[in-house]
Structure 1
Amino acid sequence: MLVVRPVRTSDLPAIERMAVASGIGVTSLPNDRDKLFERIQQSASAFEHEAVPDTGREFYMFVLEEHGEVVGTASISASAGFDEPFYSYRSETFVHASRPLKVNNRIHVLNICHDLTGMVQLCGFYADPAYRGLGSELLSRARLLFIAGQRERFGKRILAEMQGIHDEQGQSPFWNAIGRRFFNMDFIQVEQAFVSHSKTFIAELMPAYPIYVPLLPDEAQNAIGQVHPDFERPFMLLTSEGFEADNYLDIFDGGAVLTADVDRLWTVECSGTYPVEVSVSLPPSATTMLLSNGCTDRFAAVAARVALVNGMALMTQDVAQVLALSNGQPVRVVPLHEAKEKQS
C-alpha cells in the first residue's frame, strides 16, 4: 500500500538518493547531506508542535512509502521567504507611445520583485519514475490534505515553482541571457550558491531595472513560462487543483510560478471528514479515494478503497491501521482527479 507520512531522520539516505536523481533546478531538494539533514530536523520540529505555530518558519517534509521503501518526497513551506525576500520576475506590459508619430507599442517586460513573499509554498517534489501515476497524485495532494486538516497553520495564498527549461548539460537559455551576464556563473553554479548561501546575492547582483523581453535571444524568450518535461506531471496535478500560471516567473530559469487561493483548491474545498467504520468487506459502491487522518506528527495519507454509506466511511482493517484510526474517529476523504474529470 502507498502511504505518505512525515519524514524521519532514518529516511536521510533515501532523501539523498532522490536529491541526486532530481538533478538541478530543485533547489528545495539540495544535493547536500548536511542541508538535507537540517531540513529533516526542521520538519520534525514543525510536526511535533500540536499547538498552532505563529512563526511562519515551519517546514513540513513528507515521504511516499511502499512496503517500507521511500520512493518519493514533497514539502510545504509555511511562509515562502520568511527570513529573506522570495524573489521572482513579474511579467508586465509597458506602453511606449508617440502621438505625433502615431505609434503605440505594448512591450513585454520582466520586473524583479518579492510580491510572493509570505505565501504558502509547495516545494521539494520528487517521485521515482515507477511512481509517477497514482503515487505522484497521492504524494502531491497529501500535502493539500494536511493543509485542509491543519488549516489554521497556513495562510490564504499558495505558490509552486515549476522547473524551467534547461538541457542535459545544465544550460538554461533564460539564465544565459540574463543572470549569467550579471553573475558570471553557470546555471549549475548559481543553483548550488542558492542552496548554500544567503539569497541576498540575488538583490545584490541581479538588475533592478526592467528586462525588455524583445531584446532577449529567441531561445530565451521561448523558455519564458515553460515547464521542464520532468515537471509536466506535477504541473498537471497542480493545475487540476486550480493553480494558475499567473504573472510570475522563476528568477533563474524563467519557469512558470503557479499560484492559487488555498481555500479554492479542489482538494481543500471538496474533501470532507467522515466517522470511520471498519468493515470486513466493502460494498460494490467502494472506490479508490485519497484518505488522511487528522494528526500532525502521526499524519498519514493513503490511496485506498472506501465506501461512503449513511454518513460513514467504510474501510478495511488494514487501511484503518495504516491511518492509525478506529471506529468513530474522523477521516478526511477526497476523490481522485479522474473523478473530477468525469464530473466535468
Structure 2
Amino acid sequence: MLIVRPVRISDLPVIETMAVDSGIGVTSLPNNREKLYEKIQTSLGAFEHEAVAGTGREYYMFVLEDDGQVVGTASISASAGFEEPFYSYRSETMVHASRALKVNNRIHVLNMCHDLTGMVQLCGFYCMPNLSLRALELLSRARLLYMAAARERFGRRILVEMQGILDANAQSPFWDAIGRRFFNMDFPQVEQAFAQRSKTFIAELMPTYPIYVPLLPDQAQNAIGQIHPDFERPFNILSREGFEADNYIDIFDGGAVLTAEVDQLFSMRQQLRAQVEVAPVLPEGAEEMVISNHRSDQFALAQAHASLVDDVLFITPDTARALSLACGQIACVAPLLQAEQGRVAA
C-alpha cells in the first residue's frame, strides 16, 4: 500500500540518495547531508507543535512509502522567503510612445521583485523513476490534505516553482542570457549555491533594472515561462488541482511559477470529513479514494478502497492500521483527480 507520512530522522540516507538523483532540478532538496538533516529536524519541530497560527517559519517534509520503502518526498514551506525575500521576475509590458513620430510600442520586460514573499510554497517534490501517476498524485495531494487538517497554519495564497528549459549539458538558455553575465557561474553552480547558501546574493549581484525581453537571444526568449519535460507530470497534476501560470517566472532558469488560492484547489474543495467505521467487508459501491487520518501531528494518508454512506466512511482493517484509525474517529476523504480530470480541464 502507498502511504504518505511525515519524514523521520531514519529516512535521511534515502533522502540523501534522492537529493543526488534529483540533480539540479529540486533546489529545495540540496545534495548536502547537513542541510538535509537540518530540514528534517525543522520538519519534525513543525509537526510536533500542536497549535501553530501562521508564524511562517514552519517547514513540513513528507515521504511516500511503498510497502515500507521510501520512494518519494515532498515539502511545504509555510511562508516563502520568511527570513529573506523570495525573488522572482515579474513579467510585464511597458509602453514606449512618441506622439511626434506616431509610434506606440508595447515592450515585454522582466522586473526582479519579491511580490511572492509570504505565500505558502509547495517544494522539494521528487519521486523515484518509473513510479506510477497514482503515486505521484498521492504524494502531491498529501500536502494539500495536510493543509486541510491544519488550515490555521497556512495562508490564503500558494505557489509552486517549475523547473525551466535546460539543454543537453544541463545549462539554461535563460540563465546564460542574463544571470551568467553578472555571476560568471554555470547554471548548475548557481543552483547549488542557491540551495546551500543565503539568497541575498541574488539582490547583491543581479540587475535591479528592467530586462528588455526583445534584447535577449531567441533561445532565452523561448524559455520564458516554459517547463522542463521531466516536470510535465507534476505540472499536469497541479493544473488539475487548479494551479495556473502567473505573470512570474523563476529568476534563474525562467521556468513557470504556478499560483492559486488555497481554498479553491480541487483537493481543498472536494475533501470532507466523516466518521470511521472499520469493516472486513465494505458496503456496496466501494471505490478508490484518497483518505487521511486528518491529524496535524501524526499525519498519514493513503489511497484505498472505501465506501461513504451517510457521512460514515467504511474502511478495511488494513487501511485502518495503515492510517492509525479506529471506529468512531474522524477521517478526511477526497475523490481521485483522474475521475475529475475532464471537468477540471474544462
TM band (smaller chain): over 0.9
Q: Which range moved further: 275-284 or 42-51?
A: 275-284
Q: What SS class does the counterpart of residue 111 from structure 1 fall into?
A: strand
SS at match of 2:42: helix
Answer whether contact 2:6 2:62 (CA < 8 A) is retained.
yes
Partner residue of 2:204?
204
Q: Is 1:100 aligned to 2:67, yes or no?
A: no
Task: Tell whether the 8 Å contact from 1:132 to 1:233 is kept in structure 2 after alignment.
Answer: no
Deviation at 1:343, TM superposition (A): 4.8
Q: Distance in 2 between matches of 1:104 and 1:341?
A: 43
For 1:198 and 1:338, locate their aligned partners in 2 and report how far apart those are by CA, in whole Å: 40
The answer to whether the Cα contact below 8 Å between 2:149 and 2:296 also exists between their aligned partners in 1 is no
| Structure 2 residue 124 is the aligned partner of structure 1 residue 124 | yes
Structure 1 residues 123-272: aligned runs within 5 Å? 123-272=123-272
> Which ranges in structure 2 are unaligned for 5 or more consecutive residues?
none
| Counterpart position of 2:339 | 339
SS where residue 295 of structure 1 aligns?
A: coil
Q: Deviations over 1:272-300 (max 9, x none)?
A: 00000111112341111111012223100
Distance 1:180 1:285 in 2: 58
Residues 330 and 24 of structure 1: is their aligned pair in 2 closer, same or farther, counting only changes over 3 Å? same
Q: 1:71 — aligned with what? A: 71
Secondary structure of the 1:202 match is helix
Per the alignment, residue 59 of structure 2 pairs with 59
Question: Aligned pair in 2 of structure 1 residues 343, 243: CA closer, same or farther (>3 Å)?
Answer: closer
Partner amino acid, structure 2, of 1:12: L
> Structure 1: which 5+ runs fail to align?
none
Q: Distance in 2 between matches of 1:259 and 1:296?
A: 24
By how many angstroms is 1:54 displaced?
4.2
* CA distance in structure 2 between the partners assigned to 1:54 and 1:149 by the alignment: 14
Contact 2:29–2:195 (Cα < 8 Å) also in 1: no
What TM-score do you get using the length of structure 1 for normalisation? Answer: 0.98
Deviation, 1:320, is: 0.9
The aligned amino acid for 1:335 is P
SS in 2 for 1:131: coil
Q: Which residue of 2 aligns with 1:83?
A: 83
Structural mapping, 1:34-45, within 5 Å: 34-45=34-45
Q: Distance in 1 between matches of 2:51 and 2:149?
A: 14
Contact 2:54–2:155 (8 Å) recurs in 1: no
**In the aligned structure 1, how far is the partner of 2:175 from the partner of 2:89?**
12
The whole-number CA distance in structure 1 between the counterparts of 2:341 and 2:204 is 46
CA distance in 2, matches of 1:168, 1:274: 50
For 1:100 and 1:244, how far apart are their aligned partners in 2? Answer: 41
Q: Distance in 2 between matches of 1:343 and 1:312?
A: 26
d(CA) in 1 for partners of 2:343 and 2:236? 17
What RMSD, in angstroms, separates the aligned Cα atoms of the two structures? 1.0
Q: Secondary structure at the match of 2:3?
A: strand
Alignment partner of 1:193: what SS?
A: helix
Counterpart Cα distance in 2 of 1:233 and 1:214: 31
Question: In 2 relative to 1, CA 20–327 (structure 1 residues): closer, same or farther, beyond 3 Å?
Answer: same
Superposed displacement of residue 129, structure 1: 1.9
CA deviation after TM superposition for structure 1 residue 247, in Å: 0.3
Distance in 1 (CA, whole Å) between partners of 2:341 and 2:196 is 42
CA contact (8 A) 2:87 2:114 kept: yes
What is the CA–CA distance in structure 1 between the aligned matches of 2:102 and 2:168, rounded to whole Å?
A: 47
Amino acid at match of 2:253: D
Q: 1:67 to 1:221 in 2, by over 3 A?
A: same
Q: Distance in 2 between matches of 1:177 and 1:341?
A: 38
Which amino acid letter does the alignment assign opposite residue 329 of structure 1?
Answer: Q
1:170 Cα deviation after fit: 1.7
Q: How far did 1:342 drift? A: 5.0
| 1:286 maps to 2:289 | no
1:303 paired to 2:303: yes
TM-score, normalised with respect to structure 2:
0.97
The whole-number CA distance in structure 1 between the counterparts of 2:229 and 2:130 is 16
- For the Cα contact (< 8 Å) 1:171–1:187, is it kept in 2? yes
Task: Measure the CA separation in 2 of the matches of 1:86 and 1:311.
Answer: 42
Q: CA deviation at 1:105?
A: 0.9
Partner Cα separation in structure 2 for residue 76 and residue 186 of structure 1: 28
CA distance 1:182–1:342, shift in 2 (3 Å): closer
SS of corresponding position for 2:282: coil
Q: Which residue identity is paired with 1:43?
A: S
Q: Mean alpha-carbon deviation: is it higher for 125-134 or for 41-50?
A: 125-134
- What are the superposed Cα offsets for residues 170-229 of structure 1, whole Å, 9 maximum, x if unpaired? 210000000000000000110111122211100010000000000000000010000001
Tell me if structure 1 keeps the 8 A contact 2:54–2:152. no
Shift of 1:59: 0.2
